[in-house]
Structure 1
Amino acid sequence: MSSQDAVLLKIENDIATLTLNRPERMNALDDAMVTGLLAALDQIENEIKNIGAVIITGSGGTFMAGGDVKFFHQLGAIPANEAQPQIRAMIDRVHEIITRLVNLPCPVIASASGAVAGFGLSLLNACDMALATDETVFTLAYCHIGTSPDGGATHSLVRLVGMKKAKEIALLGDRFDANEALRLGLINQVVEGSELEKATAKLAMRLAAGPRAALAKTKALLNSAPERDLHSQLAAEAEAFAECAISPDFREGVRAFVEKRKPVFNSK
């Protein structure tokens, strides 16, 4: 399968939808999908001025069942000193995907069904918001194939669920359902399977209709908050607010509040 087939990108109504498209392999991550994701991010970044939200979803009723173990099995047939550089090169490209997703100025939404396993959970955690069906199953799973996590999972899990729970999820690799994922704060909403696409689209449209520059600054502030002390965070907030306060969207928001109507943002 080519990289263009492994990841489908549609940009419509100011919303970019990335579809992981290896349903026969439960959308397991392979080299073609990595290449496809990087290419899709290139296009999204090139058109970012016209994109208010990004959706990541999977075809065939599954989000992502982790990395394609066949790749690692094939590497087992060659000497370790030759295999390790290939593995490291792939991991570096995978981590570029995570970094670029987190750094996108617009909100990124994971729309998950079926399995969210291994790197699939890392990918979901890198998104700003996440929805899942009531039948979605989650597991970090890396320990079951004798490796440690990648994709920023050890970073995101500690921030999202706390150290003790993160260690439980990572060290045991147990499966848990969508209601538990909601309780832990890994996802924002649980919906019936038939409602997932509609609920995701509704959320994406709501975000895309918001004040994009302000939302971008809000996302950046939240992402950086755990690494800053209060003084530094207050300074960053002051700078961001001052920049927003001279924008057309701010003037529109204030005017709409005074006129008791719904604001129309994103004047260009």
Structure 2
Amino acid sequence: MTEEPAVLHTTGDDVLSITLNRPETLNALTPGQREDIIRLLSEASATAATRAVVITGTGRGFCAGADLRGTATTGERAPGDVARTLRTGAQRLISAVLDCEKPVLAAVNGTAAGLGAHLAFACDLVLAARSARFIEVFVRRGLVPDGGGAYLLPRLIGPQRAKELMFFGDALTAADAERLGLVNRVVPDDELEKTATEWAHRLATGPTRALALTKHLVNASLDTDRATAFAAEAAAQEINMTTADAREGVRSFVERRGAEFTGH
């Protein structure tokens, strides 16, 4: 019997679905899985027929973080080894989500810990099953948060809340994550897939280039001053007005009908 891939991916209705598929490990990420996700996100950006992306997991876990089994904890390291591993590994994964030119939706079906939590938080929208849990697990292992955690969390919930989660490493329920602003919506477990499909369809039928430009503006806004942000906004609007979807949007308003966007 052929073993299933560790990362499943399907495309339908202009939506790329990426599913982590190592349920026996709560979908702890291997380097191979990480590279598959990075490649798929890069391809999604360059593929006109892909207009939205969903990331989820099989079984009881969304992603339990990086799979540390087999990772050497003793022996000599060359200077820069750890930093280099992070730059080329976990940080590339988070950057791939943030830089993807299509909206990325996380459908968190279970435990999201460490890098797995940051993978979800890097997504543009986050749906969580009621049974989902988010854990900044690094402190429990005597580690510094990586995978962009100290960048993402303060921007989402402020520095004090971010420090609380990272200093104590307590499990955060889906409801508490929603209350803090880490999750857009919590749904019953048996409605997660249905809701994710509905949201992805709405994204995939939207003005794709406008969404990409909006994503870039929002992601960059917290790292820049007002003058730069306003200049970027004006430039994005200038670029977007050359698209067919922008022309369709204006025309549909004038004609008093719903817009039909094609992603061009």
| Same fold, judged at TM 0.5 (above) | yes
CA shift at 1:6, angstroms? 1.4
2:246 partner letter: F
Alignment CA distance shift 1:239-1:82 (3 Å): closer
Long gaps (5+) in structure 1: none
Q: Does 1:171 align with 2:170?
A: no
The worse-fitting range, judged by mean Cα deviation, of 116-125 and 82-91 is 82-91
What CA distance in whole angstroms lies between the structure 2 residues aligned with 1:88 and 1:69? 16
Contact 2:104/2:124 (8 A) holds in 1: yes
Contact 1:3/1:32 (8 A) holds in 2: no
Contact 1:102/1:126 (8 A) holds in 2: yes
| 2:6 matched residue in structure 1 | 6
In structure 2, the residue corresponding to 1:69 is in which secondary structure?
Answer: coil
1:125 partner letter: F
| 1:43 matched residue in structure 2 | 43
What CA distance in whole angstroms lies between the structure 1 residues aligned with 2:239 and 2:83? 43
1:138 partner letter: F
CA shift at 1:80, angstroms? 3.1
Q: Which residue among 157, 162, 168 is the counterpart of 2:158? A: 162
| 1:54 matched residue in structure 2 | 53
The worse-fitting range, judged by mean Cα deviation, of 136-145 and 245-254 is 245-254
Q: Does 1:244 align with 2:243?
A: no
1:11 partner letter: T
| 1:147 matched residue in structure 2 | 143
In structure 1, the residue corresponding to 2:140 is in which secondary structure?
Answer: helix
Q: Output one character per residue of 1:71-120: Cα deviation in whole Å (capped at 9) or x when no partner.
A: 33xx13x4132697378436522211111211111100000021011111
Q: Output one character per residue of 1:111-157: Cα deviation in whole Å (capped at 9) or x when no partner.
A: 00210111111101110000001111111110101111111011000
In structure 2, the residue corresponding to 1:186 is in which secondary structure?
Answer: coil
Q: Which residue among 128, 138, 141 is the counterpart of 1:132? A: 128
Query: What TM-score comes out, normalization by structure 2 length?
Result: 0.93
Contact 2:207/2:263 (8 A) holds in 1: no
What CA distance in whole angstroms lies between the structure 2 residues aligned with 1:6 and 1:67? 14
In structure 2, the residue corresponding to 1:5 is in which secondary structure?
Answer: coil
Query: What TM-score comes out, normalization by structure 1 length?
Result: 0.91
Taking the TM superposition and a 5 Å limit, the aligned residue runs for 1:140-219 are 140-219=136-215
In structure 1, the residue corresponding to 2:28 is in which secondary structure?
Answer: coil
Alignment CA distance shift 1:83-1:143 (3 Å): farther
The structure whose residues are more often helix, as a share, is: 1
| 1:69 matched residue in structure 2 | 68
Number of aligned residues: 263
In structure 1, the residue corresponding to 2:106 is in which secondary structure?
Answer: strand
In structure 1, the residue corresponding to 2:127 is in which secondary structure?
Answer: strand
| 1:116 matched residue in structure 2 | 112
What CA distance in whole angstroms lies between the structure 2 residues aligned with 1:203 and 1:9? 18
Long gaps (5+) in structure 2: none
Cα-Cα RMSD: 2.2
After superposing on structure 2, the runs of 4+ consecutive aligned residues of structure 1 that deviate more than 4 Å are none
What CA distance in whole angstroms lies between the structure 2 residues aligned with 1:3 and 1:213? 38
| 1:93 matched residue in structure 2 | 89
